Amino acid sequence: MTQPPDLSAMPCLFDEAFAARPQDAYAALRAAGPVSWAQIAPHTPALVVTGHRAAVELLTHPDDFTKDSRRWAALNSGQVPPDSPVLAIMAFRPNVLFAHGKRHKRLRRVVEDCLARIDMHELRERTQTHAAGLIAAFVPKGRAELMATFADMLPLLTFADILGCPAGMAGKLVKAGQGVIGAQADAAQAATDFATVLGQLVAEKRSKPGDDLTSWMIAHPARLSDEEIIHQLFCFVGAGTIPTASWIAQALLLLLNDDSYAGALSGGTVTIRRAMEKALWLSPLANFAVYYAVRPTTLLGTIAIPPDTPIMISHAATGADPELAGLGYDNRSHLAWSLGEHRCPAESQAGVMTQAALETVLERLWDLDLEGPRDVNRPGPFFHCPRTLGIRFRAQPADEPAVSAASSGGPA
């Protein structure tokens, strides 16, 4: 385990074959053991954890493993190409996600305290309003590509509200956010624009505080500097947008595509919640949490883990670990939210947004059907999220009052 084997012999977690059939790569990794080598980008090897027990052990031993990617030896020695596409996510930033020990505790307290102040009813209403607005824009066409026009946009619009963005700034934030998500040639510029808008927002809220997350962060007793606040807000929106879009898409695919849900849409909210739970087992973030051993160590008593080497949790593969077979999807032992000190702090908020999004789609669009390719995931190792999600539908007649799937007996 200490020396990476030949790169060409490793399963790839970034090519077209992986995007189309990730389960084949997971099976190859699992055959090599609960922790094994993969190429996560060209010339970028990492250890990937597919075994649930090994992942739990790693995530619950913060003294042995850190998320501080400044330890990444192959990156520091120039073996990883400086333009490796995974660096957009894995390169160190001074935010809560990469922080360790006391510094993590300080930043995490701020993030948790601010999240706790979000009014969940208001969050639900704001998400519904934005969802209805986005749907209204494509409703006359009778068809839509839901990723770009809905699932990616909805979290960004809702975050702009949560952060207290004035109208002009919200548009800029959403535009830059779309550029970051698009991961195309302009992504680096989009990330700079995104940070610039956040900087303007923090300056504005310093002089004129409001009842919003940016102002709460500024007023927090931990007394973060403006720069620290910008980094935490960047992480907050960055960590929340694609995973939530991905959760919406995966649950919708189950609701429309899988007989055990599609046939029961009359169950309304209950069915939606069940689909959301199952989507967590498939995991919106496929392979995401990355750690570095701080010294040579072992997992499960025998697997040697070298220090300063990225070791990535496969949230998706650990959810399909044969050792968990028979548990059922209502069981919550999946690792979609990760575990331990860096476990996602926004599970409830993401759940409210995802549920409100799905309910609004199913209320407003009738005879909903999928069309076009939908099984190919976004490139790269991180997200279990379709690139496109084409749908056809009949708009709910405008003259009929909107009724919920739960109370109507189901529109679809």
Taking CB under 6 A as the binding criterion, the range among 75-83, 128-136, 145-153, 335-343 that sits at the site for ligand HEM is: 335-343
The answer to whether 268 contacts ligand HEM (rule: CB under 6 A) is no
The answer to whether 177 contacts ligand HEM (rule: CB under 6 A) is no
The runs of H, that is alpha helices, within 163-209 are: 167-182, 187-207
Which DSSP string corresponds to 239-282?
A: HHHHHHHHHHHHHHHHHHH-HHHHTTGGGTHHHHHHHHHHHHHH
The CA distance from 69 to 222, in Å, is: 25
Main-chain dihedrals φ then ψ at residue 164, nearest 5 degrees: 80, 30
The answer to whether 292 contacts ligand HEM (rule: CB under 6 A) is no
CA dihedral 135, 263, 335, 121 (to 10 degrees): 40
The CA distance from 78 to 74, in Å, is: 6
The answer to whether 160 contacts ligand HEM (rule: CB under 6 A) is no
Taking CB under 6 A as the binding criterion, the range among 23-31, 182-190, 344-352, 360-368 that sits at the site for ligand HEM is: 344-352
The CA distance from 165 to 278, in Å, is: 34
Taking CB under 6 A as the binding criterion, the range among 13-21, 68-76, 193-201, 341-349 that sits at the site for ligand HEM is: 341-349
Of 299-318, which residues contact ligand HEM (CB under 6 A)? 315
Taking CB under 6 A as the binding criterion, the range among 73-81, 187-195, 238-246, 264-272 that sits at the site for ligand HEM is: 238-246
Tell me, by CB under 6 A, how many residues bind ligand HEM: 27
Q: Which of 345, 379, 390, 410 binds ligand HEM (CB under 6 A)?
A: 345
The answer to whether 344 contacts ligand HEM (rule: CB under 6 A) is yes
Q: Which of 50, 214, 250, 349 binds ligand HEM (CB under 6 A)?
A: 349
Question: Which of helix, strand or coil describes residue 108?
Answer: helix
The answer to whether 235 contacts ligand HEM (rule: CB under 6 A) is yes
Q: Which residues pair with 177 in a beta bridge?
A: none
- Cβ(54)–Cβ(301) below 8 Å: no
Q: Which of 26, 37, 194, 236 binds ligand HEM (CB under 6 A)?
A: 236
The tokens for 372 are 């076009």
The answer to whether 52 contacts ligand HEM (rule: CB under 6 A) is no
The answer to whether 243 contacts ligand HEM (rule: CB under 6 A) is yes
Q: Which of 289, 303, 312, 405 binds ligand HEM (CB under 6 A)?
A: 289
Least Cα distance to 128 among 386, 359, 326, 399 occurs for: 359
Least Cα distance to 151 among 389, 341, 342, 382 occurs for: 389
Cα 292 to Cα 79, 200, 264, 278, 311: the distances in Å are: 17, 35, 44, 30, 6
Q: Which of 48, 58, 96, 365 binds ligand HEM (CB under 6 A)?
A: 96
Q: Which of 80, 180, 229, 350 binds ligand HEM (CB under 6 A)?
A: 350
Taking CB under 6 A as the binding criterion, the range among 27-35, 41-49, 334-342, 377-385 that sits at the site for ligand HEM is: 334-342
| Footprint of ligand HEM (CB under 6 A) | 96-97, 108, 111, 235-236, 239-240, 243-244, 247, 280, 284-285, 288-289, 315, 336-338, 342, 344-346, 349-350, 353
